[in-house]
Chain A
Amino acid sequence: MNGPIFEVRDVTYRYQEVTALDGLNLAIMPGQRVALLGANGSGKSTLLSILDGLYFPQKGSVEFRGEPLTENRLQTPEFEFDFRRRVALVFQNPDVQLFNPTVFDEVTFGPLQMRWPRDQILLRVSEMLEQMEIMHLKDRSPHHLSTGEKKRVALASVLILDPEVLLLDEPTAALDPKSESQMIDFLVSCSGGRKTVVTATHDLDLIEDVADSCHIFQRGRIVATGTPAEIVNDHALLLSTNLIHAHHHAHAPGELHSHPHRHGHRH
């Protein structure tokens, strides 16, 4: 396929009186690793939901592999079946995504919906649980899992279908440093190559590992695009879009010094 896998044209989405996306234009190519950066409420999660065919814009259009992604189109069983197999979204809140009584049930949900044969499901589930290092959690209920474990189960539950497109909403949010590091390793190992990965985050430490290009969101629009290195080094841009804060300190009485500052860096 030569054209974009996703083409977003002049998309506007409103939640009642709040405009989440405002005339957004974006093209994502197959195999690309894209980071959507922005402060809370900038429209990143809304865009992911639109790309996953869960929300539909009030204005504008979205195409998937050159075909319109509309509500009517997704009501066609064949198209929806194919789309859901190819595109997967990992939600920011794992308690939303983990709706089954056990981890085993959670990971089997997708293949069951895809009507896989029983033996194939059992084999793939076993492989996926081993790969994600969560076999020991197989019979656990989600309410007995830590946040890091929930995120890994959520990832396993979508990766089992081997989707072409992976949409990740704040994959490292609320994780402790060790869990965050493990999650980044998983994401790096499963991204790239033929998979298209779109990651919504405000974690600047993440983008260099999981993205080749970044789009910065502010008030529902893309205000800047660049490589991770370009974005991370543009302090004025990061300050203006609330991705870093200004740190103030005084060298001497009356001598206030401020400079851009972000916490949490890795060596």
Chain B
Amino acid sequence: MSVKSRGVIERSLSSFVDALQHTFDAEEIAKKRGLLQRLDPRVKILSILPLIVIAALTRRLRVVIALFAVAIAVALLSKVPLGTLAKRVWLAVLTFTGFISGPALFLTPGRAMYSLPILGWSVTAPGLRAAVYLVMRAETAATFSVVLILCTPWSNILKALRVLRAPAVLVVILGMTYRYIFLLLRTAHDMFESRKSRMVGQLEGRELRKMATASAGVLMSKTLQLSGDVYLAMRSRGFQGEVYVLDEFQTDWLDWLMLALFGSIALLAFWFGR
């Protein structure tokens, strides 16, 4: 087997395993007894969502930095490892947003602060401020989002969306999608492992593409079969086209206290960030 074909299969297998591992890690954090984990999911949604929106829209860098500090504090109180946030959020957002905001460093007119050697490009003060502002907004919004998701089982997030009047059918569809993504990931993983165990000789270019498209076709076929069977299983248990959602959410004094606290932070951020 050539290095190239072995690389494609190994990378595919590795990404499947990583995806599954991520969900296990997330569910472990959601089980901890931290601040967010103890709150009613509806309170979490109503508390965190406004902060995400305000972080994205505020006009003041100091407010964004303050909100970022709040996000880190919430993460620490909720026992979310900062290393996890750094790997999953900060590095990725910095790379992506940094790439987008990079040109602003040099193109925004203003006082030059530093000149790059060889290229002679000048980093301007307004340019630096604009780039930092964009990166910080993205980092803050992403941090709040990921902390919310890590501290709340996905099924509860979906149900809590009902407090925002999300339709029940959307909640059910997203829930089933979440459920079956892992089954399909596992099936794809098993297919690739099976192929890996039976491959000899070289597999180049055209053969690789054939393998990839054949695998996609088989997976699609299995998915279609599965979806038909699942529909029959739903009909068998009385599904007639209407979907219903039931939750066991209950609020207590801590939920109302944290809702008031997060609400106050959001109001202050909105006021000072106008």
Residues of A within 8 A of B (CB): 49, 52, 54, 77, 80-81, 84-85, 88-89, 91, 93, 95-102, 104-105, 108-110, 112-114, 118, 121-122, 139, 141-144, 157-158
Contact = CB atoms under 8 A, between A and B. Distances in A.
Contacts of B179: 98-101, 141-143
Given A96-B230, A110-B238, A143-B179, 4 more contacts: A100-B175, A102-B153, A114-B238, A141-B155
A52 B153 contact: no
Contacts, number: 85
Given A122-B248, A143-B182, A99 B176 contact: yes
B232 A49 contact: yes
B207 interface: no
Nearest to B181: A143
Q: Is the interface of A mostly helix, strand, loop or mixed?
A: helix
A147 B198 CA distance: 27
Interface of B: 27, 153-155, 158, 175-176, 178-180, 182-183, 186, 226, 229-230, 232-240, 242, 244-246, 248
Contacts of A81: 238, 240
A105 B27 CA distance: 17
Contacts of B153: 102, 139
B175 A101 contact: yes
Q: Is the interface of B mostly helix, strand, loop or mixed?
A: helix
B238 A91 contact: no
Contact of B233 (A80, A96, A139): A96
Contact of B186 (A113, A122, A139, A143): A143
Contacts of B229: 91, 93, 96
A256 B242 CA distance: 64
Contacts of A84: 235-238
